[in-house]
Structure 1
Amino acid sequence: MKNIYKLCLTLVASTMFWSCSEEAEIAPFKALIFSEGFSSDSPFFNFNGNFNFPGWTNYAETGTRLWTEREFNDDGYIQFSTFGSGQASNIGWAITPAIDLGNAENVVFSFSSATNFVDNPANKLEVLISTDFDGTNVLGATWTALDATVANETTNGYVYIPSGEIDLSSYSGIIHIAFRVTGNGTTLDGLFQVDKVKVYENN
């Protein structure tokens, strides 16, 4: 039998939050550490507005476009689109709250992503991890790319692509995970969607 857990918002420290999410079914051998499904039922959900869930960082490295909150068939997700921006470069980050791995073992990370209107590999989604992000200075932190399967120019049509289980067993303590999209308002103006973010023990 599967266990049902209710995930709640908890203030861990001044810059550390656990996420609010919908109820999650968790197999007994996979202890959930962090989960975010961007539920449209969340009190923080702002349909078609800029993404602003507590603890998350929504940052425009270049240009002014930010990640937005979207919903389809009662399923919430976040989206980054540069269509119509009119800007030569748009790089947008969506960064998780601080995730405390504690004494967890065999930790893995997974999510789903989708694209549409992407026809150039330079219009891309990258996934990165940091152990020194302070919650504010995005570009001052050290970010390492994670080897994840992501939606790209070959998977258009809003088809969600599972990332696979990304091994985080070499990490400990506090981490942040970032989703970074690179595009512009002319030739790299596709959209990217992210959903079902989870960090858990794969025991």
Structure 2
Amino acid sequence: MKIKNLKIWALAAVAIVALAGCTQDEDYKTAEFTPLVLAEDFLHSADNTPLVITNWENIATAGTAKWKQQIYQGNGYAEFTSYQSGEPSNIGWLVSPAVSMDVAEGEILRFQVSQSYVSNTVSNKLEVLISSDYDGTNFAAATWTPLQANLPTVDANYFVFQDSGEIDLSGYTGNIHVAFKVTGGTANAIDGSYQIDNVRIYHN
């Protein structure tokens, strides 16, 4: 009787090990199906200098202020500010490389964002936009559509990053570009700053 019981327990142990092994394999394979299509952590230029990233565009369409590289305690992030620009209006665009929407399905955009000294999000605002017809050269002729994201309000703590939330891009095909656009300027003290970090596009 004892021998039979030992055999039963042995078979049960083998079954448990086999099931555990299958679960681990499934978890590993599931992770493989959510690859990063775009990942940017913003650590490329010297601290407090214009941000230069291969295949990204840093464009000023009003005034001369551009997105800058900022580094704090070893962490890099992108920042746009009109502070001390001396110009009544500043508009800066940070445009991603082309990202293909035809590789898989269920694409999601997600990033971290914070603000500092923003007192009016109408005049001093951050917008997240997407274009499916930008050819990489004719920026002004492209169509840029706003994306809904969880962006900081004037009450948000300064320099405290918050999650944008998952932004669904699954309705797009072909190549897309994502842009972060900040409007500001020294007129009417609309000279607050916005910070962006950990930009990700991945498959859900």
The answer, yes or no, to whether TM exceeds 0.5 is yes
1:11-68 CA distances to partner (integer Å, 9 max, x unpaired)?
A: xxxxxxxxxxxxxxx94442211110113xxxx4222110110100101111110000
Q: 1:36 aligns with which of 37, 40, 50?
A: 40
Structure 1: runs of 5+ lacking an equivalent: 4-25
- Residue in 1 that maps onto 2:13: none
Which is strand-richer, 1 or 2?
1
Q: Which amino acid aligns with 2:129?
A: L
Q: Distance in 2 between matches of 1:54 and 1:160?
A: 24
Counterparts of residues 77-156 of structure 1 (less than 5 Å):
77-122=77-122, 123-156=124-157
Could you tell me whether the CA contact under 8 Å between 1:118 and 1:156 is conserved in 2? no
Q: Which amino acid aligns with 2:40?
A: E
1:145-172 CA distances to partner (integer Å, 9 max, x unpaired)?
A: 0011112312131110100000001011
Q: Distance in 2 between matches of 1:38 and 1:55?
A: 13
Structure 2: runs of 5+ lacking an equivalent: 1-23
1:56-83 CA distances to partner (integer Å, 9 max, x unpaired)?
A: 0101111110000011111100000001
Following TM superposition, the consecutive aligned residue runs of length 4 or more in structure 1 with deviations greater than 4 angstroms are none
- Residue in 2 that maps onto 1:58: 58
SS in 1 for 2:49: coil
- Residue in 2 that maps onto 1:197: 199
Q: Distance in 1 between matches of 2:174 and 2:70?
A: 32
Q: What is the RMSD of the two structures over their aligned residues, measured on CA atoms?
A: 1.7
Deviation for aligned residue 1:136: 2.7
Q: Distance in 1 between matches of 2:153 and 2:74?
A: 24
Q: Distance in 2 between matches of 1:57 and 1:134?
A: 13
Q: Distance in 1 between matches of 2:94 and 2:31?
A: 28
- Residue in 2 that maps onto 1:188: 190
Q: Distance in 2 between matches of 1:141 and 1:119?
A: 31
Specify the structure having the higher radius of gyration (Cα): 2
Q: Distance in 1 between matches of 2:82 and 2:31?
A: 38
1:127-160 CA distances to partner (integer Å, 9 max, x unpaired)?
A: 0000111223322110000011112312131110
State percent identity of aligned pairs.
Answer: 41
Which is helix-richer, 1 or 2?
2
1:73 aligns with 2:77: no
Q: Distance in 1 between matches of 2:137 and 2:154?
A: 31
Q: Distance in 2 between matches of 1:38 and 1:95?
A: 13
Deviation for aligned residue 1:103: 2.7
- Residue in 1 that maps onto 2:49: 49
- Equivalenced residue count is 176
- Residue in 1 that maps onto 2:169: 168
1:80-138 CA distances to partner (integer Å, 9 max, x unpaired)?
A: 00011111110100000111222310111000111111011221100000011122332
Q: Distance in 2 between matches of 1:181 and 1:154?
A: 18
